[in-house]
Amino acid sequence: MGGGIPVGGIVMVMEDLEAPHHMMLLRYFMAQGLAHAQPLLFASPLFSPRCFLGTLPGLATGNESKDPRNSTETNQKGDKLRIAWQYRRFLAEQQELADRRQKQQELTELRSRSALEQKRPSLQVQHYSSRFDLRRPMERALINTETVECICLQGSDMLSQLQEKCATFCNQLSRFDSGPQQVGRIALQSLCSPQCMLLLSEWEMMAFLHQLKSTLRMARAVAFISFPPALLRPSFTARWQHLADILLSVEAVEDDDKTLDAMLTDYRDIIGFLRVHKLASINTQVPAVPKAGSYAMKVLKKKKLILEQLQQAPIDAAGDQSGGAAGLLCAKPANAPSRLDF
């Protein structure tokens, strides 16, 4: 959406109290950084934030990295063929695991060298588009590294400590003129939640966000922040939204909503909605306009998160559309004299 997260940007996700769909986006954000050996700073109101890393999705390997909707996998005949196919997949997974561990070790050795001994890397465009499997946990070799730091947000004085940790984390990243091109990731889960005990310090939270935004602008890092807007006053919620470079929100889907069932073709497969309120427009005069303002969140075969544009169901033009799906789509008045009035 919008080309990705710009370096130095802040992504804010407004939580829905009825469904924890923001946790899936947070897990993907963190897993993508760990898959590419990027430094990670994770702050959470959980008592043990490092245990949350065990819930991150693992990398999909082999045929699982392809889109299951486009794959034409055939059935194997006989137990021998099935066992042989599983054994070949096991060998491929082990080989890929060894390659990732080797890459992690090489990156760790590269960071430990002196900046004077390192050559300036050439400018290359790197795409972070790994595929993950929700049923498979993230490998411990990628989690238990020195570049991953976890902080518990419980406590009255954690705001000042969190600000100091963020500043130290950004200062430790390599500069633009020397060293390897490192991009750090800061993930703040459920900021201003009741567990954080920061509800009575809204102005201090605003000062912290201003300081974090100014720190990120001068560092090679991005931040992902989720917060429950229902727990903030409307004035502070609006201020939080203005501070975000990319503003998203998640919404739950009711089990039996006849109106949405008539409007959407794949309503039964949708677990929630993702709303795009604002995209990043840093150092540009033209704001980024998303292709769609709403996306449907789906979990395909319980292992893959998919974001798709909403597909509206066809409308029957023969019947009366005054109270049907067409009236909801076009916002048609109930007593409009003409069908063109909407």
For 280-329, write each residue's pLDDT tens digit. Answer: 887 777 777 777 788 888 888 888 888 888 766 665 544 444 444 444 44
Q: Give the separation between CA 241 and CA 248, rounded to whole angstroms.
A: 9
Alpha helices in the chain (DSSP H): 22-35, 49-52, 79-112, 140-143, 158-172, 202-217, 234-243, 258-263, 325-330
Give yes or no for a contact between 173 and 184, defined as CB atoms under 8 angstroms apart: yes
Q: What pLDDT, on a 0 to 100 scale, did the predictor assign at position 177? A: 45
Give yes or no for a contact between 86 and 78, defined as CB atoms under 8 angstroms apart: no
Question: Token pair for residue 85?
Answer: 């196919």
Express each pLDDT in 97-117 by its tens digit.
777 777 767 666 665 554 434
Identify the bridge partners of residue 221 per DSSP, sorted by sequence position.
Answer: 184
Delimit the domains of the chain by residue range: 10-63+95-102+130-311
Identify the bridge partners of residue 36 per DSSP, sorted by sequence position.
Answer: none
CATH number of 10-63+95-102+130-311: 3.40.50.300
Give yes or no for a contact between 224 and 175, defined as CB atoms under 8 angstroms apart: no
Per-residue pLDDT at 162 exceeds 60 = yes
Single pTM value for the model: 0.72
Mean per-residue pLDDT over the chain, rounded: 76
Question: Token pair for residue 232?
Answer: 């903030």
Q: b/e for 143-171, b at 16 or more Cβ within 10 A?
A: bebebbbbbbbeeeebbeebbebbeebbe
Kindly report the CA angle at 120 between 119 and 126, in degrees rounded to 5? Answer: 120
At which residue do the structure tokens 């406590």 appear?
155
Q: What pLDDT, on a 0 to 100 scale, did the predictor assign at position 160? A: 84
Q: What is the CA radius of gyration of the chain?
A: 23
Q: What pLDDT, on a 0 to 100 scale, did the predictor assign at position 331? A: 54
Per-residue pLDDT at 251 exceeds 70 = yes
SS3 205: helix
**How large is the average pLDDT for residues 260-276?**
81
H/E element, 151: strand 148-152
Of 308, 301, 306, the C-alpha closest to 135 is 301
CA 278: distance to chain centroid? 15
Residue 5: Cβ-neighbour burial (10 angstroms; 0-12, 13-18, 19+): buried
Order of strands across the sheet that contains 304-309: 148-152, 40-44, 184-188, 221-227, 10-14, 246-252, 270-278, 294-300, 304-309
Express each pLDDT in 194-224 by its tens digit.
766 554 577 888 889 999 999 998 888 999 9
Q: Give the separation between CA 148 and CA 44, rounded to whole angstroms.
A: 14
Express each pLDDT in 104-157 by its tens digit.
676 666 655 544 344 444 445 556 678 888 888 888 888 888 889 998 887 767
Q: What pLDDT, on a 0 to 100 scale, did the predictor assign at position 209? A: 92
CA atoms within 13 A on the CB side of 47: 0
**How large is the average pLDDT for residues 241-262?**
84
Of 102, 101, 76, 78, the C-alpha closest to 89 is 76
**How large is the average pLDDT for residues 25-41?**
91
Question: Token pair for residue 241?
Answer: 């939204």
Q: What pLDDT, on a 0 to 100 scale, did the predictor assign at position 339? A: 66
In which band, very low, low, confident or very high, does the pLDDT at 176 lie, cut at 50, 70 and 90? very low
